[in-house]
Each structure stands twice: as C-alpha cells, then as structure tokens.
Amino acid sequence: MKKFRSVLWGLCFLIVGFILILNALDLTKINIFFDGWWTLFIIVPCFVGLFTEDFFGNFLGFLIGLGLMGGCQGWISFGLIAKLIFPFTLVVIGLSILFHETFHNKVSQRIKKLNLVDGKSVVAIFSGNDVVVEEEYKGGDIEAIFGSVELDLRDAKLDAETPIKICSIFGGVTLIVPKNVNVDVKSIPIFGGVDCTVRKDNNAKKTIYIEAVAIFGGVDIK
C-alpha cells in the first residue's frame, strides 16, 4: 500500500512538473493557478489517503475539498457548503462506526470472541485519568471524551490474549503495554490519529487486541 501511495504522489508531481515545463517552453498555456487552485492541497492528499487505513476521514476531506473548489468556480454557493459540512461530517462518522468491521474484521471478531464482560473500564470526561495496573488485567474499555487517559500495563498480569476497546473523542489516550507482547490494532481515525510504536516480537507468547476509534482525538500505543 505504501508503494502504491508513493506512485500516486510521484505521478502528481510529474504531471505538475511537465505542465510547468511545457508552459515555460510556450508549447502549452495550461493555467494551473485557476480559481480555487489552493483546494488541490486538500483534494490531492485526501485522494491519496483514500488508499490508506483512514478511508472515511480522507473521504470526508476529499468531499470538502471538492465542495470548496465548486464554490470557487461558482458551481455552488459557499453558504450552502457551510450548511452541508457539519451534517456530512456526522454522516461519514456514523458510516465509519457502523461499517468499520466490514473493512477490518479480524481484530473486531477476536475481541468479540474474547468478550469484555470481566474487563475494566477507564473513563475520562472533561478530566484526566492516569491508571497504573499491577494486578491481573483481562482487558476493558478506555474512553476519553474532552479529556485524557493514560493506562500503564507494564506491570500488569495479562492472559495470552487481551482485548481492549479505545474511544477518543476530542481527547487523548495513551496506552503503555508490557515488553515482549504483540499488539494487533484496528484503528478508525476520523480527523484524529492512532499511533502504535510497538514492534512485532515473533517470540512473544501474549497478544493484545486493540480496537481504537479516534474522532478529533488521538490514541498513542507504546
């Protein structure tokens, strides 16, 4: 996938470069600085991003970019664009939450089988919550809504498989995992980010399955 994205970016730069060269040689008169040309800085990155894991967020950005270009070209009024951005955002967020298992079902199905009934919930709403676990930990939910959560599992006693669900909405979650464990993450970032810096360990006997949703928020797994 990375290679494919690199090819797309390479083609974009090649096309623009050739157009500028042909214009400089007076062979063509293609005006790349048309009304709303700046929207390409939204449209092109989001289009390339459609081929990444964050499909829905980039799709929304792509639609917004097209709408802004349409406004600059006079195809649609900016007033209507302003009215449509918020409902379109809600629709895309809803679709991403409803259908994410269709695109990434491996981790979700594993978490579903492991069950979170005996799990531990860590929540922060308009506040901060730092938790260090040193006893047995069977997984659970982590929620940060306009707040921050830090969950430290370095000294926790884990089963062979541990399920964790994370939801960050206008907030931040930091999850610190023990050494010598594998982490399998399914991320759903929507104008947010999910970052996992845990390296795969082929000798690890324990795996943490994480389903992370970040909506205008961030999740850091390390």
Confidence category of residue 111, pLDDT binned at 50, 70, 90: low
Examine the domain organization and report whether 12 and 94 are in the same domain.
Answer: yes
Examine the domain organization and report whether 83 and 188 are in the same domain.
Answer: no
Examine the domain organization and report whether 83 and 167 are in the same domain.
Answer: no
Angle between helices 78-103 and 55-73 (to 10 degrees): 160
How far is the C-alpha of 209 from the C-alpha of 87, rounded, in Å? 32
Examine the domain organization and report whether 61 and 151 are in the same domain.
Answer: no
pLDDT tens-digit map of 147-170: 999 999 999 898 888 889 888 888
How many domains does the chain contain in total? 2
Indicate the pTM of the whole model.
0.59
pLDDT tens-digit map of 4-18: 666 766 777 788 788
Examine the domain organization and report whether 111 and 169 are in the same domain.
Answer: yes
Examine the domain organization and report whether 84 and 145 are in the same domain.
Answer: no
User: Of the residues 103, 127, 157, which one is the last residue of a structural domain?
Assistant: 103
Three-state DSSP class for 117? coil
Pairing relationship of beta strands 193-196 and 122-125 according to DSSP bridges: unpaired
Examine the domain organization and report whether 193 and 209 are in the same domain.
Answer: yes
- Structural domain harbouring 52: 2-103
In terms of Cβ atoms closer than 10 Å to its own Cβ (0-12, 13-18, 19+), residue 163 is buried
User: Of the residues 103, 118, 134, which one is the last residue of a structural domain?
Assistant: 103
Residue positions counted in the chain: 222
- Name the β-bridge partners of 172: 148, 218
